[in-house]
Structure 1
Amino acid sequence: MDQPRLAKKPYERELHRLQAELVDMQGWVQASGARIVVIFEGRDAAGKGSTIKRVAEYLNPRVTRIVALPAPTERERGQWYFQRYVPHLPAAGEIVLMDRSWYNRAGVEHVMGYCTNVEYHRFLHQAPIFERLLVEDGIILLKYWFSVSPDEQERRFRSRAQDPMRRWKLSPNDVLSITRWEDYSRAKDTMFVHTDIPEAPWFEVPSVDKRRSRINMITHLLSRIPYGEVEPEPVEIPTRPESRGYERPPRNLENYVPDAAAGLEG
């Protein structure tokens, strides 16, 4: 899907407005005891991480947690597949943003041969059951799939490979995904057939233009949460009391970091 690039100024203006709405939504989650899980899935380099960063930027990390699990340990590989994800589900008044999720099994694990066919098909059967249980218990579950064109994905990979600040984002599996594009496409199509359920549907986010995709995704997220305005508790800053004779120890007895910033002053 072709997307004209969203200009920077209207993007920043609307993003700031949406982030303020996210703060209001978080206040409602705390006050109401709601539980929210937002799953971010999609192609490698499709913009999931940068979108999560914008969603969480002004939110309280004690309320809104980002979950990005590493590869399972030997013990976790011997558990029920969904077991390692259950401890990260939200309690009352919490939001969980999942940077990839249990859908690893339907994507990279299946395509790269990290699971058996039996484990793969068991996942496709159990995932809708698991998600229905979550929704039935009152969790608001939102699932987003970020898509990008093969040309744009390759361009972003090459950009990351040349950028020492972002090179860590390129894993061996990421690079191999270029050679397995159609395999991942088939895996995604099959995953949607089995797990795009009324209780927890998939929502696709075209993300050739990252600015546009962030605005669209956050706008949609807010539209799916039945939040209302919650008046925050007033905060009163007390008057500082008069000194009662405290004297600070001599500064030369304490260790200070060197003033590296002094060399930047013109």
Structure 2
Amino acid sequence: MTAPRFPGSTAVSRLRVYDWEAEDGLCGGTPHLHTASSEAYVVTAGTGQVHTLAPEGEAVDALSPGSLLWFGPGTVHRLVNSGGLELVVVMQNSGLPEAGDAVLTFPAEVLADPDRYAEAVRLPRDAPEEHLAQAARARRDLAMRGYLHLVSAVRSEGPAALEAFHRSAAALVRPQVDRWRRIWEESVARETERTREQLTDLARGEPGIMGEAAVARPEPHPGPRRFGMCGRLRTWQMGDPPG
């Protein structure tokens, strides 16, 4: 019997937010948005903030242990680490964020060139930790340049500036959407259909998929935390989803 998917075909990870100082004097991660997925933060340690840009404007939310915050696709977000900030991250549409659903706030000329964007977002493979850290920090700093320009544009132009960034992000990811649709059909849509069928079985008084009951206890991926957009990530070996 295969292990059940993580509930709702979401993804879960632990995040230790970068403490690298950025151009504006604050320490933290790489500003970005998700084009199709919502994201939730549950703070487990430390303090900090999440800075967001949405059609209604800028917002800053304080983070401390026990804080819960989530946001939908298109919300530009940036984590700021005031000291020891660690989170559990729950991400909608497991598989899509890993397939490129996130778009970093690089300067406009980088966003407009898919090859240049792909080169800027890529981290080296099988490199020593110090090289990976340098590359992740350089990527963060490039995104900060675009982010600070975007913040200034939103302040002066209002929602139109954010809409222009959304359009750039949509154009950038458009070639990937067919692949994303296949991932979504095999994960989220399949799980939704299983629930629909289960409700039909229950309405007939049948146990349905309760006969497949199982407990999953995945192990963390071995080795050091990987370098993510916002910090060092610890993920789990979830195994193959039910087919």
Q: TM-score, normalized by length of structure 1? A: 0.25
Q: Which has the higher strand share?
A: 2
Task: Identify, as 1 or 2, the structure richer in helix.
Answer: 1
Q: Which protein is bigger by CA-based radius of gyration?
A: 1
TM-score (norm 2): 0.27
